[in-house]
Amino acid sequence: MTTPQALRPWMAWALAAVIGAGSTQSLGAQSTLDARIQAVRNGTLRFTLPAAPYVCGTGSSWYRSRDGRSGSYYGMWNGSTSSKDVETICDRGPVRIVVVREDGDTRSLRHYVGGRWVPQDTVTDLGAVSAVEGGAWLLRQAERGSDKVARSAMNAALLVDSLTPGATLLRMARDSSRSQDVRNSAVFWLGEVVGDRVAATLDSIAYEPGDREVRRTAIMAMARRPREEAIPALQKLAESLPDRELRRTAIMALAQTRDAQAIAWLERRMNGNE
């Protein structure tokens, strides 16, 4: 007999708790995604989220265009998104999240886009989760999780529909208690976030005293912004950063843009005209 659609979320919720906790206790109070995940102390669970409109994937690889524009992509991509001979099949979602739990902690997190789940009897499937609830959970893991979990959660969060992770990424970029690797990842993805204040944010990180590598990452992230933002900001950094090595980074970033305005600025500097 076919299960009514309205009953499926409840069945997935109940199954998650029974498998994870090893009991049939009442779960009426566990109404949030976090509670459902916490109910699985040991084991693997999974769920899906709506993908952002500029994201697609094949299951084994995914594509994310910058700000919804073509020509820029990140992730596990093994080929082109277009061909004159063969149309590439790239599913517009969903985002698939796999969570591995040990002793009540989230120890690792994997993410995919598109494809289909491989049937696995030992995995707890929580089904489809809203972008709001699932995205908020991913951002909490990014900010509070171990380095391994944080990096994966950040990557996954950037794929979810209608999620605005800028504030979380900025806190992580400025959190000196986190590892340099995590902070660099936060700065990198901050450079991809749509918003009028991104350039100003990266600029402020570049000027802040502290970890030079994080500041260097902010400069390189600035270089990936649209040229109307990147070129004047990089020129300012190249002229006014107190750190000589970071000024050199800004100059190299300008050169790598191959923008006519940037090249003209570099030529004037080399000729001593400024």
CATH of the domain at 255: 1.25.10.10
What is the distance between the alpha carbons of residues 149 and 153, in angstroms, rounded to a whole number? 6
Do 149 and 42 share a structural domain?
yes
134 and 186 together in one domain: no
The per-residue pLDDT for 197 is: 65
101 vs 141: CA distance, rounded Å: 13
Residue 170 shares a structural domain with residue 147: no
CA distance 68 to 99: 28
Can you tell me the mean pLDDT for 212-232? 86
pLDDT band for position 20 (cuts 50, 70, 90): very low
> What's the pLDDT tens digit per position in 75-113?
444 444 455 676 668 899 999 999 999 999 999 999 999
The full DSSP string for 142-153 is HHHS-HHHHHHH
Percent over 70 (pLDDT), the chain: 77
pLDDT score, position 17? 39
Q: In the structure encoding, which two tokens stand for residue 114, read together?
A: 């598109």
Domain around 117: 8-22+29-163
- Please provide residue 250's backbone torsions phi and psi, each rounded to the nearest 5 degrees: -65, -40
User: Are 126 and 13 contacting, i.e. CB atoms less than 8 angstroms apart?
Assistant: yes
Total domains, the chain: 2
Nearest-angstrom CA–CA distance, 227 and 181: 27
State the pLDDT at residue 273: 60
CA-closest candidate to residue 110, choices 37, 20, 47: 47
Which whole number is the average pLDDT over 140-153?
Answer: 95
- pLDDT band at residue 193 using 50, 70 and 90 as cut-offs: confident
Residues 62 and 144 in one domain: yes
Final residue belonging to a domain, choices 118, 147, 163: 163
- Specify whether 46 is located in the same domain as 137: yes
Is pLDDT larger for residue 241 or for residue 80?
241
Do residues 186 and 243 both lie within one domain? Answer: yes
Q: Beta strand 43-49 with 123-128: parallel, antiparallel or unpaired?
A: parallel
Residues 89 and 119 in one domain: yes
Strand 55-57 relative to strand 62-64: parallel, antiparallel, unpaired?
Answer: antiparallel
